[in-house]
């Protein structure tokens, strides 16, 4: 039976042009030319033209079956599970929810999992942060420890991947696709187990807790995003000049004194973001600024504040001064990582680096 299953196994996934003009994505094993998959617009056609899945709110979604193949002579089983929700909120609010460390840990707890941050700090999850996920195989049963690293954290989505533990491959990602009325948040978990019958059993046992984790995560995004849509905003200015970025060093409170941040501050009630940034840059630096587009995603801050950063340039040849801060400093892309940034600002470093390129 096993041999027959292996013979039937095709590629473990794939992607191709969909009849709706987008791309289809097949997940799991392709048997006899038939794949299950999903696309953003409707039904999925692949292989011999057979459709699996169903259409709801304009998208097809399905739980893909466990796939099986041989790699280096070992039986490898890949399981891909998906859960998609439609979130009627702005893309920036949903991305903020996706990067919210508290929301992530809370949703995992609701699914019976534990999440502990082992690297990184603050409310926002940044690329390079590490977490330890403890997945229950059964209620009150043994737990599988999965050390994870954040590998993607941006406006288009979030992803963590295993960096050790018994499951050498475990990936959880959330793709965010903006639509006219809101955002499609497509959660996927893909994990791989090896071994014969014991591997098959392990794969089967893990499906239920992983499915619960995935469902709790997408539900948390749907329920958590509206809060970020109406959160009080702190605006920051990524002021650039000839490949240099202006950073300023905090004087207070004690826990943040000496750390670096971007010029800016809280937006007052009814005040447009641009007006708040103009006001803060005059007060803190004594200069006027031109304000451009947003840089990176909106970032959750402690106290349910949201940090939103805009690209900016000093008007004219005026030199910014540290009127309220300990110091200001121009830094190159290469020097960005040398500064002790506030926790949330660390999550912006990839976007700031890209701005300076």
Ligand X SMILES: Nc1nc2c([nH]c(=O)n2[C@H]2C[C@H](O)[C@@H](COP(=O)(O)OP(=O)(O)OP(=O)(O)O)O2)c(=O)[nH]1
Q: Minimum Å distance from CB 205 to ligand X?
A: 41
Q: What are the φ/ψ torsions at residue 40 (nearest 5 degrees)?
A: -75, -20
Cα distances from 84 to residues 63, 208, 265, in angstroms, run 11, 17, 36
Q: Minimum Å distance from CB 331 to ligand X?
A: 13
When the beta carbons of 117 and 132 are compared against ligand X, the nearer one is 117
Q: Minimum Å distance from CB 99 to ligand X?
A: 13
When the beta carbons of 186 and 342 are compared against ligand X, the nearer one is 342
Q: Do residues 8 and 69 make contact, with C-beta atoms less than 8 angstroms apart? A: no
When the beta carbons of 39 and 231 are compared against ligand X, the nearer one is 231
User: In a 3-state reduction of DSSP, which class is residue 109?
Assistant: helix
When the beta carbons of 175 and 261 are compared against ligand X, the nearer one is 261
When the beta carbons of 193 and 301 are compared against ligand X, the nearer one is 301
Q: Minimum Å distance from CB 267 to ligand X?
A: 9
Q: Minimum Å distance from CB 307 to ligand X?
A: 5
Structure tokens belonging to residue 147: 């050390």
Q: Do residues 62 and 80 make contact, with C-beta atoms less than 8 angstroms apart? A: no
Cα distances from 147 to residues 99, 131, 306, in angstroms, run 18, 6, 28
Structure tokens belonging to residue 350: 């990839």
Q: Do residues 170 and 146 make contact, with C-beta atoms less than 8 angstroms apart? A: yes
- Residues at the site binding ligand X, with contacts judged by CB under 6 A: 234, 236, 261-262, 264-266, 301, 305, 307, 342, 344-345
Q: Minimum Å distance from CB 345 to ligand X?
A: 5
When the beta carbons of 171 and 304 are compared against ligand X, the nearer one is 304
Q: In whole angstroms, what is the distance from residue 298 CA to residue 321 CA? A: 27
Cα distances from 154 to residues 28, 93, 231, in angstroms, run 26, 12, 19
* Ordered strands of the 23-27 beta sheet: 13-17, 23-27, 37-38
Q: Minimum Å distance from CB 286 to ligand X?
A: 16
Q: Minimum Å distance from CB 161 to ligand X?
A: 27
When the beta carbons of 70 and 241 are compared against ligand X, the nearer one is 241
Rg of the Cα trace of the chain?
Answer: 23
Structure tokens belonging to residue 38: 């999903």
The long-range contacts involving 162-165, CB below 8 angstroms and separated by at least 24 positions, are 163/130
- C-alpha torsion angle, residues 71, 147, 107, 304 (rounded to 10): -130
When the beta carbons of 29 and 348 are compared against ligand X, the nearer one is 348
């Amino acid at each position: 039976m096993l041999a027959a299953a292996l013979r039937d196994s095709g590629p473990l996934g794939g992607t191709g042009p969909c009849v709706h003009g987008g791309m289809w994505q097949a997940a799991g094993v392709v048997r006899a030319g038939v794949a299950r998959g999903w696309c953003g617009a409707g039904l999925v056609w692949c292989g011999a033209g057979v459709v699996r899945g169903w259409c709801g709110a304009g998208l097809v979604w399905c739980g893909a079956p466990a796939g099986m193949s041989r790699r280096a002579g070992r039986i490898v089983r890949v399981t891909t599970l998906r859960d998609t929700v439609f979130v009627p909120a702005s893309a920036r609010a949903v991305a903020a929810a996706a990067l919210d460390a508290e929301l992530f840990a809370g949703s995992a707890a609701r699914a019976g999992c534990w999440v502990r941050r082992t690297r990184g700090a603050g409310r926002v999850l940044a690329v390079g942060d590490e977490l330890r996920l403890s997945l229950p195989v059964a209620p009150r049963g043994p737990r599988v420890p999965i050390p994870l690293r954040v590998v993607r954290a941006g406006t288009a989505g979030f992803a963590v991947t295993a960096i050790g533990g018994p499951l050498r491959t475990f990936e959880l990602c959330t793709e965010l696709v903006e639509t006219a009325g809101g955002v499609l948040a497509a959660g996927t978990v893909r994990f791989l187990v090896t071994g014969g019958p014991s591997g098959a059993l392990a794969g089967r046992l893990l499906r239920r807790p992983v499915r619960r984790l995935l469902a709790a995560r997408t539900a948390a995004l749907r329920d958590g995003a509206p809060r970020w849509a109406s959160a009080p905003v702190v605006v920051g200015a990524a002021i650039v000049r000839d490949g240099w970025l202006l950073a300023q060093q905090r004087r207070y409170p004690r826990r943040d004194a000496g750390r670096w941040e971007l010029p800016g501050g809280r937006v007052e009630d009814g005040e447009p973001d641009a007006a708040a940034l103009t006001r803060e840059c005059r007060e803190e630096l004594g200069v006027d600024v031109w304000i451009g587009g947003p840089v990176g995603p909106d970032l959750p801050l402690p106290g349910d504040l949201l940090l939103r950063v805009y690209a900016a340039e000093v008007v004219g040849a005026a030199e910014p001064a540290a009127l309220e801060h300990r110091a200001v400093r121009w830094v190159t892309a290469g020097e960005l990582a040398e500064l002790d940034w506030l926790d949330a600002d660390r999550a912006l470093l990839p976007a700031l680096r890209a701005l300076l390129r």
